[in-house]
Structure 1
């Protein structure tokens, strides 16, 4: 996610990237609204329908996180600042809100206990919650909080991305030195090597756990240096400057997205149809760094480039989303579960429950963050970035 506090001058402001950010921000909220479907706690008469729509929307929404990384690459590569200045400007504004909200999420079950609420209410907020969480214990909350420097908890699942974001920020000045000097052909070769790595998870699952030098004593294979989200950084940088006509974008993008979506959806349904499967198996076709997800992400990014925003009101709203985006990401996971509960309670048809819940969660999160900025001004950056 490109950090929203990074302000561009009016001259350099790129409105279509604000459109990409809107798509990315809404789809990530929508994606988390699928959790109560794909991880439905308990049973229901229409469980098959619940699971189907969770898979259908979950597969469709996989470009959400890759789009965030591509925005970062499009805006920040090559880095024009000294590494120390770059780090000082960006990492603290990510780190402090991350720490504050991680603590709040981990304290939430204990607070529900203080309020005398039934432990089952926690499942409405966090579908992944386990037995320890249901104890509503302060000791469990403190244990999770102490683990924050090392990893996220099941109560703050979406925080996995912040560890990645900080890592990308640390890596960007190093990667930038090559990007600045590399030719377009060299960048394409890198992206091709990265493309090969996107198939490795499937080779590891269906063929062998080891490939190109990996073994029990070595996890770093031949193309390891080309793997991961750094490919999305370069892809965003590369595609920013690639100009396709609308007809070419549609002619290439629609079939590409359709193939990527078909593989993602059918693959996920295949795994969930197995009698038993591990968490790793469940995520296999949903992996962000997989070829099928890249095939879905590229068309969305390229189509967003064709959006022309002429309304000054819409431009201002998009600019405000740029300011509030990081805070929305911090807040929204408190609201996705309850929003799903709400749309179920008022009888919204199951086929559109996920997007309606996402609209509610997204809009409410945006309003909360906007209110924090209005109340605290510049100090709000320590809470919502």
Structure 2
């Protein structure tokens, strides 16, 4: 998702292969995550035990996907060693133009599919969270006009770009503290952030108005320690490495991931068993800034950090994946519905539909972005 940031000198940071492996893991997780949408968003998930079960299994297993991207960003870019203006000029346009192009394509797709003779059901096959898609060009253009302010169900993955731009805006300011703070102070910040990770459950099960939050104040006690900035700092801290052997890391991370997964999976199954489930309840245990997801994310990060790749061919492939990563993220959602339909047509059992669909989506999207990079000015299309 992000390339190494330049230092104040002309020397670039050394290439870090294990971070390329981390990107591969994160991208695969994102693709798998979205390949669960046709299962989890369907009415069949509530009536068919296999569909509901495997949608929950795969959805819970990959919740570390987006947090891993943020941790990679923190590992590479914190602390920012440029003036804020120079940093913004380098980072934001790289994601802004591709984001705008793909957002327009996603929001025009429902109208275009129906204009060429496709049904509204076909649109829903492409975009599982759009049960009643409009065939109106004016509605599509209205969605396009709203792109600077909001994403739609047709451009679901684009929410992350709004987040990423926000993190870029924040990073030069945050970096001043990161540079000056001791490791002890950074750990204290992460402890307080850890408390904030319990708030999604407290506000849902206890009261929405806790620790000073009320109808006229949305900024409670731990608000200033909450959010994805914690993942930025965690990535910065953990990227310094550790000298533990891989076996010892596995003894720590496997139970950590397993506990986080069980909380996420069991919690999601508990919530989706409620016939009166709200959208907020549906997403509750899938919330990225929650204690269970942090456990899984930190476990994956620490374990992948131990990856050592010696094959020049694999290193080159991983480097190409890094180059294509943003484009893969932006474009892959176009392939989700067709890939899932292919698994159904092949008669695959529910347990295999998500991983097979993910393999199709990943290979098709990587090929597409690889070919787009052969065009002139490709960076404006795929970053």
Task: Verify same fold: TM over 0.5.
Answer: yes
* Corresponding residue for residue 20 of structure 1: 22
**Structure 1 unaligned runs (5+)?**
none
For 1:221 and 1:44, the matched residues in 2 are separated by 36
> Does the CA contact (< 8 Å) of 2:102 and 2:330 recur in 1?
yes
> Does the CA contact (< 8 Å) of 2:336 and 2:357 recur in 1?
yes
Matched, 1:68 2:69: yes
Does the residue aligned with 1:335 lie in a helix, a strand or coil?
Answer: helix
* Corresponding residue for residue 171 of structure 2: 172
For 1:216 and 1:53, the matched residues in 2 are separated by 39
Does the residue aligned with 1:296 lie in a helix, a strand or coil?
Answer: helix
> Does the CA contact (< 8 Å) of 1:3 and 1:94 recur in 2?
no
For 2:375 and 2:65, the matched residues in 1 are separated by 30
> What is the Cα deviation at residue 242 of structure 1?
3.7
> What is the Cα deviation at residue 269 of structure 1?
0.3
For 1:242 and 1:191, the matched residues in 2 are separated by 17
For 1:117 and 1:313, the matched residues in 2 are separated by 43
> Does the CA contact (< 8 Å) of 2:45 and 2:52 recur in 1?
no
> What is the Cα deviation at residue 4 of structure 1?
4.6
For 1:21 and 1:357, the matched residues in 2 are separated by 19
For 1:33 and 1:18, the matched residues in 2 are separated by 23
For 2:89 and 2:332, the matched residues in 1 are separated by 26
> What is the Cα deviation at residue 350 of structure 1?
2.0
* Corresponding residue for residue 367 of structure 2: 367
> What is the Cα deviation at residue 11 of structure 1?
5.8
Picking from 27, 31, 34, the partner of 1:32 is 34
> What is the Cα deviation at residue 119 of structure 1?
1.7
> What is the Cα deviation at residue 248 of structure 1?
2.1
* Corresponding residue for residue 304 of structure 1: 304
Give the TM-score, by structure 2 length.
0.96
For 1:148 and 1:90, the matched residues in 2 are separated by 19
Note the alpha carbon deviations across 1:189-209, whole angstroms, 9 max, x for none: 000000000001111111121
Note the alpha carbon deviations across 1:20-58, whole angstroms, 9 max, x for none: 000001110110000000011x54897221111000100
> What is the Cα deviation at residue 10 of structure 1?
7.3
> Does the CA contact (< 8 Å) of 1:4 and 1:324 recur in 2?
no
1:96-245 map, 5 Å: 96-131=97-132, 133=133, 135-243=134-242, 244-245=244-245
> Does the CA contact (< 8 Å) of 1:5 and 1:323 recur in 2?
no
**CA pair 202-242 structure 1, distance change in 2 beyond 3 A:** same
> Does the CA contact (< 8 Å) of 2:74 and 2:231 recur in 1?
yes
For 1:43 and 1:196, the matched residues in 2 are separated by 37
Give the TM-score, by structure 1 length.
0.95
Number of residue pairs the alignment of both structures matches: 379
- The two structures, once aligned, show a CA RMSD in angstroms of 1.6
For 2:6 and 2:83, the matched residues in 1 are separated by 18
**CA pair 146-45 structure 1, distance change in 2 beyond 3 A:** closer
For 2:245 and 2:177, the matched residues in 1 are separated by 29
> Does the CA contact (< 8 Å) of 1:4 and 1:326 recur in 2?
no
> Does the CA contact (< 8 Å) of 1:4 and 1:325 recur in 2?
no
* Corresponding residue for residue 263 of structure 2: 263
Note the alpha carbon deviations across 1:179-226, whole angstroms, 9 max, x for none: 011111011000000000000111111112122211121110111111
Note the alpha carbon deviations across 1:92-128, whole angstroms, 9 max, x for none: 1111111111010010011112211122111111001
* Corresponding residue for residue 84 of structure 2: 83
For 1:5 and 1:11, the matched residues in 2 are separated by 7
For 1:320 and 1:77, the matched residues in 2 are separated by 23
Note the alpha carbon deviations across 1:328-382, whole angstroms, 9 max, x for none: 0111000011111111111223211101111110111011011011132xx1010
**CA pair 230-184 structure 1, distance change in 2 beyond 3 A:** same
For 1:27 and 1:61, the matched residues in 2 are separated by 5
> Does the CA contact (< 8 Å) of 1:5 and 1:322 recur in 2?
no
**Structure 2 unaligned runs (5+)?**
none
Provide runs of 4+ in structure 1 moved above 3 Å: 4-11, 42-46
* Corresponding residue for residue 59 of structure 2: 58
Matched, 1:384 2:344: no
